[in-house]
Homo-oligomer: A and B are copies of this chain.
Amino acid sequence: MKTSRRDEIVDAAMALAREKGLDAVSMRALAARLELTPMALYGYFRGKDDLLDAIVGRLLGLLPEPDPAAPPLERLGVLAGGVRVLAKDHPAVVTLLFTRPSVTEDAVVAVDRIYQALLDAGVPDAQVGRLERLLTTFVLGFVISETQGRFSEGNRDMRSRRALLGPDELPAHHRLGPLLDPQVDWDAEFDADLADLVTVIERAART
């Protein structure tokens, strides 16, 4: 497997995804953008799956490296924020983080940093694994919801929701009323969620 131009091809794939969406990343379209024939790509990647995994690898490599001297909870914040920045910079490909496991070197290193931060925060050894999964699950879920439209879109058009069904079927929607309407400050919400999860970590650290 040639490796020389792999990075260049992955770059082109990510650019293509940004411009036209992940679905537009076909071997043919990607080859055309690189002025190659589709089959030329198979010299660098075993197939499309391999290409997508390489994109995941690149994404994880872009994660910031928190200062090891910083307080552990701050390090976690840096990593979480980094994922979110990644999602904003590469919204089309960020779903791959969820759907394509893949244990690249970068992924393992990132997980290790989270483990270490949890340990330094005083979390008992037996709970480190679970809390790492809790944290990453939430962070990935949040950024994907945010970029993929599960949060925003018509999904949060509350007026039309209330119009869909009456107060009998949707008591809480009608009770909360306009409180649900204003557009949300997602930066603030992400921070608030993280703060809540930090209290979970601190509670675990006290036991």
Task: List A residues at the B interface (Cβ < 8 Å).
Answer: 95, 98-99, 101-103, 105, 108-109, 111-113, 115-116, 119, 125-126, 128-130, 133-134, 137-138, 140-142, 144-145, 148-151, 153-155, 157, 160-161, 164-165, 169-173, 175-176, 179-180, 184, 189, 192-193, 196-197, 199-200, 203-204
Contacts and interface: CB of A to CB of B under 8 A. Distances in A.
How many identical chains are in the complex? 2
A101 B155 CA distance: 7
Contacts of A126: 179
Contact of A175 (B101, B119, B153, B200): B119
Given A129-B184, A130-B189, 11 more contacts: A101-B148, A101-B150, A103-B164, A108-B170, A108-B173, A115-B172, A115-B176, A116-B172, A119-B175, A129-B179, A200-B200
Nearest to A120: B172
Contacts of A133: 145, 151, 189
